[in-house]
Amino acid sequence: MEAYLDNAATTKVSEGVCEIMQQTLLTDFGNPSSLHKKGMEAERYVRNAREIIAKSLKAEPKEIVFTSGGTESNNMALIGAALAMQRQGKHIITTQFEHASVHNPLIFLENMGFEVDFTPVDEMGHVVTEKLLAMMREDTILVSVMYVNNEVGAVQDIAEISARVKAKKPSVLFHVDGIQAYGKYIICPKREGIDLLSVSGHKIHGPKGSGFLYIRDKVRVLPIIYGGGQQKGMRSGTENVPAIAGLGKAVEEIYSEHEKKRQHLYELKEHLIAEVSKLEGVTVNAVPGDVRQCAPHIVSVSFEGVRSEVLLHALEERGVYVSSGSACSSNHPGISSSLQAIGLPNKLLDSTLRFSFSVYTQMQEVDYAVAQLAELLPMLRRFVRK
């Protein structure tokens, strides 16, 4: 048996997504900028996907810019907004809890003369709003806060944080990395005070290499890719029609019977937490009393006395696939900044795995994974003691 429990890293593409992508690859393969029939057919897929996504956000189609994924969306939002607003100031605030695709563009901006402050989170992974507000200055132009943390599943009260930031300085742009939240929550940028929202397609059963950036109407962002002027000059280059069409289909599917899908994820999460907590030397991280106050699809678990990489590969040999942190950081191994930010004890920092689910995950996969853990942990701990 296999148990794929690494859906925060990537999800399998749905059959509906495969079908529409195949149609655009083999039949409706025109360039959407071409003026003939083939071009208009391709452009129709792009337009339809944009409308589907806009509807999911209660936004306007013109506010959606297609990208190659979450990393590009975050780069476009942060670098593009900072460059557009630099005459008003060069101060940016984010959290100690962000994904590398937010953190590293901000380091790039620091090297260009911008100042970046990193606000702390508490042991549950929640932004300490008072500390964030205390960091704001006259020259603050941009605040970036992750909606759902990709390692522990902590959820921020985005509407409240944004409201308080904008009450203190209305001109500040509020960016949200929504990559782990979109598809799990109904996000309404205008209601929640979001100016810029980054989303990736392969987290919601769309293709890799797909994503979008929501840019609220009238918000100025400078392009970071220049060329033929596609997407009104915001992101030049021939549109990746198969990826865009697949993304649109994935959005349509994930928000169909949405609450039912969320309930399934929470049932999986609650069951895993209940079962894994019965094992010796196990700590479930950043979960409040009510499990449903955090993201439905991510569980961070520490296994005292066992290195995460050793346990990960031992599980892999038995067909259980999990993660030791963010997949995007796997090429640069080290101690997780997210786990450090929530104050996880040093002895557990290198003993933590992430389990993550999708709408296709079955309860027997969770049971199988727990059964393997129950067998492996005593053996691995004996080996370490030797």
Tokens 């989303």 label which residue?
A: 199
- CA 84 – CA 250 distance, rounded (Å): 32
- Count Cβ atoms within 10 A of the Cβ of residue 331 and give its class: 0-12 exposed, 13-18 middle, 19 or more buried: exposed
CB atoms within 10 A of CB 384: 11
> Which of these, 55, 80, 56, lies nearest to 215 by C-alpha position?
80
- Active-site entry in 18, 188, 294, 328: 328
Write the DSSP assignment of 180-221 as a string of letters.
Answer: TTBTTB---HHHHT-SEEEEEGGGTTS-TT-EEEEE-TT---
- CA 150 – CA 141 distance, rounded (Å): 25
Question: Which residues sit opposite 115 in a β-bridge?
Answer: 91
Computed from CA positions of residues 288, 297, 181, 326, in that sequence, does the dihedral angle turn out positive or negative? positive
Pairing of strands 115-119, 91-95: parallel
Q: Does residue 18 carry a catalytic annotation?
A: no
CB atoms within 10 A of CB 359: 21
CB atoms within 10 A of CB 10: 16
CB atoms within 10 A of CB 385: 7
**CA distances in angstroms from 169 to 140, 166, 221, listed in the order given:** 8, 5, 19
- Count Cβ atoms within 10 A of the Cβ of residue 190 and give its class: 0-12 exposed, 13-18 middle, 19 or more buried: middle
- CA 271 – CA 280 distance, rounded (Å): 17
Catalytic residues: 328
